């Protein structure tokens, strides 16, 4: 099978690519910079230079492919409004270009990588794939674009017959994670996390290898038109970092940063963000984390795809072991 893949140089996409090659699939990857994608070339992938704005390159990439996995997106929370256009063009318009190109090419199986965040703030509930974003308030512009792209994919399935399966990973972690949560995990391991902000932020944390495995299961067994949450363990940021401290023999942060103090600092967001190693839009960081839960069940993927994620303790032990091994 030949698979067209976007987002192959990303955190999840890199693992998806490796798994596809390990089982003998041909991979054609759309990449912005072939020079920065040499690892993919070493895996035996065909590199196609281009990006999500180039309809012609996307169409060329799909020629002769049996399936497509669209995983490319901009994942940033706390960006200034001046960067909204860039994110919209990638996450919404880019998704529409890829999925419509799949329709035109007659691609027989498509997997779109959405996110649990497309549900929005679940307000303490553990929802499933039948839940719909209320559509009124968004915790971040990232959430807004992914919710819109998610609905776009569903419409193309329902109205135009796109043979697409949607997967919704939760909070993805593992070696090489450069997300804001990943940075806090690295700080804790280095003994440089003095306090905890937003301890009750709720997530379904999934190891990157399990997210990649779930995407391939969706490709192989997923029912077109269905969505599948890919999670690992439902927890909070406090729970995540406490468990990480336990497995790594570190002390968890003993202090928390009260949300009112962070709100008071919001007008100085660019300066505060620079000092804290965070994006400049502090207001959006607060709205996306203070009292927010992104909780969803992955029971459908377990029952229908044979998905079998590791628990959080096992995943964190493996992550810590690999991080320490690579540092030696």
pLDDT at 195: 87
Domains of the chain, CATH where assigned: 2-174+205-233+296-311 (3.40.50.720)
The tokens 């759309």 sit on which residue?
30
Task: Give the 3-state secondary structure of residue 291.
Answer: coil
Q: Phi first, then psi: give them for residue 30, nearest 5 degrees.
A: -80, 120
Residue 123 region by backbone torsions, left for phi larger than 0, else alpha for psi between -120 and 50, else beta: left
| Residue 51 neighbours by CB under 8 Å, 6+ apart | 30, 32, 57, 94
Give the whole-angstrom CA distance, residue 31 versus residue 49: 5
- Tell me the pTM: 0.95
User: Is residue 282 a contact partner of residue 262, using CB atoms and an 8 Å limit?
Assistant: yes
pLDDT at 136: 82
The tokens 């007008």 sit on which residue?
267
Give the whole-angstrom CA distance, residue 97 versus residue 139: 26
pLDDT at 96: 98
pLDDT at 325: 80
pLDDT at 323: 85
> Mean pLDDT in runs of 10 for the chain (328 residues)?
97 98 98 93 96 97 98 94 96 98 98 98 98 93 98 98 98 93 91 89 98 98 97 97 96 82 64 58 87 97 98 97 80
User: Is residue 18 a contact partner of residue 209, using CB atoms and an 8 Å limit?
Assistant: no
Rg of the chain taking only CA atoms, in angstroms: 19
Helix-strand-coil split of the chain, %, nearest 5: 50, 15, 35
pLDDT at 194: 86
Residue 10 Cα distances to 6, 190, 303, angstroms? 9, 24, 28
């Amino acid at each position: 099978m030949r698979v067209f893949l976007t987002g192959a140089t990303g955190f999840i996409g890199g693992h998806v690519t490796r798994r596809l090659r390990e089982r003998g699939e041909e991979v054609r990857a759309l990449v912005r910079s072939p020079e920065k994608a040499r690892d993919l070339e070493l895996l035996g992938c065909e590199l196609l230079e281009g990006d999500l704005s180039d309809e012609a390159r996307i169409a060329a990439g799909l020629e002769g492919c049996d399936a497509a996995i669209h995983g490319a997106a901009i994942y940033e929370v706390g960006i200034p409004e001046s960067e909204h256009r860039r994110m919209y063009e990638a996450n919404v318009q880019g998704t529409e270009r890829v999925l419509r190109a799949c329709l035109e090419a007659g691609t027989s199986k498509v997997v779109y990588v959405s996110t649990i965040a497309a549900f929005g703030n679940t307000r303490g509930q553990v929802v499933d794939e039948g839940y719909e974003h209320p559509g009124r308030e968004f915790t971040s512009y990232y959430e807004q674009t992914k919710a819109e792209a998610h609905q776009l994919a569903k419409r193309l399935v329902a109205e135009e017959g796109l043979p697409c399966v949607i997967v919704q990973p939760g909070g993805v972690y593992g070696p090489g994670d450069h997300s804001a949560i990943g940075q806090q995990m690295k700080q804790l391991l280095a003994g440089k996390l003095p306090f905890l902000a937003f301890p009750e932020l709720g997530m379904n944390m999934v190891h990157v290898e399990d997210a990649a495995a779930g995407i391939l299961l969706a490709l192989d067994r997923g029912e077109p038109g269905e969505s599948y949450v890919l999670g690992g363990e439902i927890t909070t940021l406090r729970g995540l970092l406490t468990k990480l401290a336990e497995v790594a023999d570190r002390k968890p942060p003993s202090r928390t940063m009260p949300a009112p103090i962070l709100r008071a600092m919001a007008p100085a967001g660019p300066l505060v963000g620079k000092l804290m190693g965070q994006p400049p839009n502090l207001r959006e960081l607060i709205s996306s984390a203070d009292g927010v839960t992104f909780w969803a069940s992955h029971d459908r993927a377990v029952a229908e795809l044979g998905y079998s994620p590791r628990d959080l303790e096992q995943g964190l032990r493996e992550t810590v072991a690999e991080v320490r091994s690579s540092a030696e």
